[in-house]
Amino acid sequence: MSHVPNPSQAIPFLNFERAMSKILVTGGCGFIGRHVTEELIDNGYEVRILDALIDQVHGDAEAAVPDEGEIIRADVRDKAAVSEALDGVDGVIHLAAEVGVGQSMYEIARYVGGNDLGTAVLLEAMIGLPIRRIVVASSMSVYGEGLYASEAGGRFDTIRRKADRVKAGQWDPQGPNGEKLTPIATDEEKPVDLASIYALTKYAQEKQVLIYGEAYDVDAVALRLFNVFGAGQALSNPYTGVLANFASRLANNQPPTIFEDGEQRRDFVHVRDVALAFRLALEQQQARGHVINIGSGQAYTISEVAVLLAEAMGVPDIRPEILNKARSGDIRNCFADISKARELLGFEPRYRLEKSLQPFVEWVRQTGAIDRGAEMRRQLEERGLVS
């Protein structure tokens, strides 16, 4: 049964903004963190940032640090630094995490340590402090495959592709009796199905935060982010978002490389919309205890995205390279049902992918992009994670 209230029974939005004034943003110098920090400051909050500024994400011109806000440079696993960062804050937005499905499959200790141990250290340090609310960044990856429907109208929420079919290039999942399935928007009622180490760590992060909130009577919210894009994405990190990977290839006159056949579908949500969602999740009392999808509510094929980006970058003749190979941990389709975000947060996406690429393209041109896509592919192939 859905926990989302009936839209006909409108919720009065109960706003915490006046009760909280100083917010700690872990990972606040990252791609999403910088936009969250800006959103908070623009809306009257004081912000303190805790960020390790690791080289993979911050090693070049992409490492812009927010102009405002106090910054503590430290790893979220450093309890003394975390305790210092928590002093005097009213709320926490927890973004600090290792990001990327592919890399998580061979740097397992790094991902589990940074994401799950890091979250545990943060929560331990919060015990006994007058912190009203914590909002954690989770991921759509926890769903595994998204929701599917059969031609007969059945709903399938625990679909997994069979390895032998994938190796044979039969990319689309089937129902239990071989039924043809159609992907549909994924809501929060879909059970999780963890297909990668990254997904495992993100699910552990959200559960830690929600369990902590229940135990210590602290308002806790988990936002499951879909594919985030926008200016400021780390262009030199091959394990970051697909749009940044494609842009790095195109900026170096190389074709974007696409696993499988390019017809897999994803939801792309603008980073400014994501920043808004985090502020709303801090402010809306009725979000307490909820897991909420944050996406655009639109589905795009990966090939379609590559073509749109090539056109926006002025290189429409560079066509994507379709590899017809699959990466371990990848899923076929997942895009968001954002009804719950609309109803609990008052969230409405403002930036559609096809109308919002130009600022991203300008960012790529200004920043310069080092293409490490081939290196990423080689690392995965050497470990047997591409088939």
pLDDT exceeds 80 at position 376: no
With respect to residue 98, please indicate whether it lies within any of the assigned structural domains. Answer: yes
Q: How far from 83 is each of 6, 31, 41, 76, 88, CA to CA, in Å?
A: 41, 24, 22, 10, 10
pLDDT exceeds 90 at position 104: no
The pLDDT tens digits of the residues spanning 79-91 come to 999 999 999 999 9
Query: Alpha helices of 221-356 — where are they, by DSSP H?
Result: 242-251, 271-283, 302-312, 339-345
CB 122 within 8 A of CB 82: yes
With respect to residue 222, please indicate whether it lies within any of the assigned structural domains. Answer: yes
Q: What is the CATH number of the domain that holds 225?
A: 3.40.50.720
CA 266 to chain CA mean position, Å: 12
With respect to residue 11, please indicate whether it lies within any of the assigned structural domains. Answer: no
- What's the one-letter identity of residue 186? T
How far apart CA 170 and CA 50 sit, in angstroms, is 45
Q: Which domain holds residue 312?
A: 17-377
Q: Give me 12's structure tokens.
A: 């009065």
58-92 burial, b for 16+ CB within 10 Å, e for fewer? beeebeeebeebebbebbbbbeebbeebbeebbbb
Residues 6 or more apart whose Cβ sits within 8 Å of residue 279:
36, 39, 40, 43
Q: What is the mean pLDDT of the chain?
A: 88
With respect to residue 1, please indicate whether it lies within any of the assigned structural domains. Answer: no
Residue 52's pLDDT is 92
Residue 232's pLDDT is 82
The pLDDT tens digits of the residues spanning 140-166 come to 999 999 999 999 999 999 999 998 999
How far apart CA 66 and CA 32 sit, in angstroms, is 11
29-46 burial, b for 16+ CB within 10 Å, e for fewer? bbbbbbbbbbbbbeeebb
Strand partners, 15: 284
With respect to residue 10, please indicate whether it lies within any of the assigned structural domains. Answer: no
Residue 327's pLDDT is 81
With respect to residue 171, please indicate whether it lies within any of the assigned structural domains. Answer: yes
pLDDT exceeds 60 at position 4: no
Residue 156's pLDDT is 96
* Rounded mean pLDDT, 104-121: 95
Residue 11's pLDDT is 43
Helix (H, G, I), strand (E, B) or coil at 127: coil
For tokens 């890399």, name the residue: 103
How far apart CA 95 and CA 228 sit, in angstroms, is 13
Residues 6 or more apart whose Cβ sits within 8 Å of residue 231:
271, 359, 360, 362, 363
Dihedrals φ, ψ of 212, to 5°?
-60, -45
How far apart CA 250 and CA 262 sit, in angstroms, is 17
Sheet of 147-150: strand order equals: 155-156, 147-150, 181-184
The pLDDT tens digits of the residues spanning 26-84 come to 999 999 999 999 999 999 999 999 999 875 555 444 445 666 779 999 999 999 999 99
What is the tally of structural domains in the chain?
1
User: Is residue 304 exposed (0-12), middle (13-18) or buried (19+ Cβ within 10 Å)?
Assistant: middle
pLDDT exceeds 90 at position 1: no
DSSP string, 70-119: EEEE--TT-HHHHHHHHTT-SEEEE------HHHHTT-HHHHIIIIIIHH
With respect to residue 260, please indicate whether it lies within any of the assigned structural domains. Answer: yes
With respect to residue 387, please indicate whether it lies within any of the assigned structural domains. Answer: no
Residue 382's pLDDT is 63
